[in-house]
A and B are shown apart, each in its own frame.
Chain A
């Protein structure tokens, strides 16, 4: 056995493997999302479908902020543009096929985010965080004003889609089937994002968050890595927007601007930034609270105030979000190499173990 293998084995025997909470949360949520439409009516299924679509928006923000350190206040822009694009195809070309809606949303979101990345991220010097935050905010605001004043895309009234989404000639009405289509898409996006952030590419992103300057001195073109993630995230937001427009049968200026972009930020912070599952928890929690409060007669007029207080409390006092109750910061960062990081100190004295091994081999 080589010396290096010996060293590796020494780790396996010396370090206690910590319990991972994220996979448990992921499996629990997956099972819940699979079975929930079987136990609730069509109305609630439609509400939860909307939450899952917003989950795509939340993942898209999380890829930018939680994983790459890009404070994007413009994810709503890509979400809305995806929505407007499929609405235009539906209304102007009578095209409502699912196989077309998915790539239209993806491509429009990716192209729009590439344009923004090119202007904000790929300059000669690395941009400051605040420059990117305000830049994306400005783009989102400008887009909202633009569509609100542009009659061809419905102006302030937005655009309604009168036809249901279709698979061939089969119409997919909002309900259980639509739910499972969205859930499958969300699962695929989640797995693809997970592959990216847990890969060696993800290690570069983790380095970017911690010490961007140092990374440049290791030879990485950091801004290109950031731009790639930004475009990937933009495509996911665009896909979400496309599905949202068809699910709601409507897309308007409110779905493209600052409001929806801010919600994406809140979903991630509330659920727990630095993980992919956190923002999805954030969407489910925020939208569930909003839905429940708005349905209670005594607080019907004031529920946004209650929601605001809850959001403020979590964002202020529990900065690692809801996920922070069960997942440590170290688990969120994770490991990228073959040897996994541990949360515990060595169980035994390492030197004595080495001596034992030496004795055994001799």
Chain B
């Protein structure tokens, strides 16, 4: 049977910050409608890789293919327009806008100039926004300022902002960072139904949480891919146990 083409391919990507080699010839491949976890000790290059995929950093070597196109030199705007979305490690919402307006701002980004000036689409977006708010348990807070939400709800808001755009690939940088165990469990429950809609790459420190939610894992160590494969494969990997599990 012919193997399906991956949605994302990172080929031999390297990234330097001065003399520091943050990524060293990294290769990863992510299939459509799967959840892919990036794990590794602090400083292993997980967030750098995510930022290289999202366009915040440009690789010094190698290339990134997304949905059949080479996006290595594409701007973050262009990547976002083509269906690639990033949820930042440090929550990046618009704190002085209401929760509802944060979602609207995310949803309307592909609207034309005149539609925006004449506010042609906000009424038609309403049901979709309310639906997403309900899904992420934010309906009660729709009119609150986003900056007034708890840290956990801000994380959910940012995920909701990404999900409502129906991206092909969603990059989540530590989506449960700073959350209580209960909030982490709830976040997992919120994310699982997304599998039908899009592909996810998740950077996370909580190994148990990421094992429960992801299909495949890539383990990074000192900017290199230590191992990758299914969760079972990674759990059985001796090199991962030695390098990763002993340090996290």
Query: Which residues of A approach B to under 8 Å, CB–CB?
Result: 2-4, 7-8, 11, 15, 195-196, 199-201, 203-204, 206-207, 210-211, 213-222, 228, 329-330, 333, 335-342, 346, 350
Q: How many A-B residue pairs have CB under 8 A?
A: 137
A196-B130 contact given A337-B100, A339-B142, CB 8 Å threshold: no
Query: Which residues of B approach A to under 8 Å, CB–CB?
Result: 54-56, 75-77, 80-81, 85-86, 88, 92-98, 100-101, 104-106, 108-111, 113, 115-123, 125-127, 129-131, 133-134, 139-140, 142-145, 161, 165
**Are A228 and B88 closer than 8 Å at their CB atoms?**
no
Determine which of B56, B100, B115 lies in contact with A200 in the assembled complex, contact meaning CB atoms within 8 Å. Answer: B115
Q: In chain A, what residue has the closest Cβ to B104?
A: A337
User: How far is A46 from B118 in the complex, measured between Cα atoms in Å?
Assistant: 36
**Are B143 and A203 closer than 8 Å at their CB atoms?**
no
**Are B117 and A195 closer than 8 Å at their CB atoms?**
yes
User: How far is A214 from B55 in the complex, measured between Cα atoms in Å?
Assistant: 12
Told that A217-B56, A217-B88, A337-B126 touch, could you supply 12 new A-B pairs with CB distance under 8 A? A7-B134, A7-B139, A217-B55, A217-B85, A217-B92, A219-B109, A220-B109, A329-B96, A337-B104, A337-B129, A339-B142, A339-B143
**Are A333 and B96 closer than 8 Å at their CB atoms?**
yes
**Are A220 and B77 closer than 8 Å at their CB atoms?**
yes
User: How far is A329 from B145 in the complex, measured between Cα atoms in Å?
Assistant: 12
29 A-B pairs with CB atoms under 8 Å apart are A4-B127, A200-B116, A200-B117, A203-B105, A204-B105, A210-B95, A214-B92, A214-B93, A216-B76, A217-B86, A218-B109, A219-B80, A219-B109, A222-B77, A228-B113, A329-B96, A335-B101, A336-B122, A337-B129, A338-B122, A339-B98, A339-B143, A341-B100, A341-B143, A341-B144, A341-B145, A342-B143, A346-B140, A350-B140
Determine which of A211, A220, A341 lies in contact with B98 in the assembled complex, contact meaning CB atoms within 8 Å. Answer: A341
User: How far is A221 from B77 in the complex, measured between Cα atoms in Å?
Assistant: 6
**Are B77 and A216 closer than 8 Å at their CB atoms?**
yes
User: How far is A200 from B97 in the complex, measured between Cα atoms in Å?
Assistant: 13
Shortest Cβ distance from residue A350 to the other chain B in the assembled complex, whole angstroms: 5
Residues from chain A with a CB closer than 8 A to the CB of B75 are 216
**Are B110 and A219 closer than 8 Å at their CB atoms?**
yes
Output the residue of A203, A333, A335 with the most chain B CB within 10 A. A203
User: How far is A211 from B91 in the complex, measured between Cα atoms in Å?
Assistant: 11
**Are B122 and A11 closer than 8 Å at their CB atoms?**
no
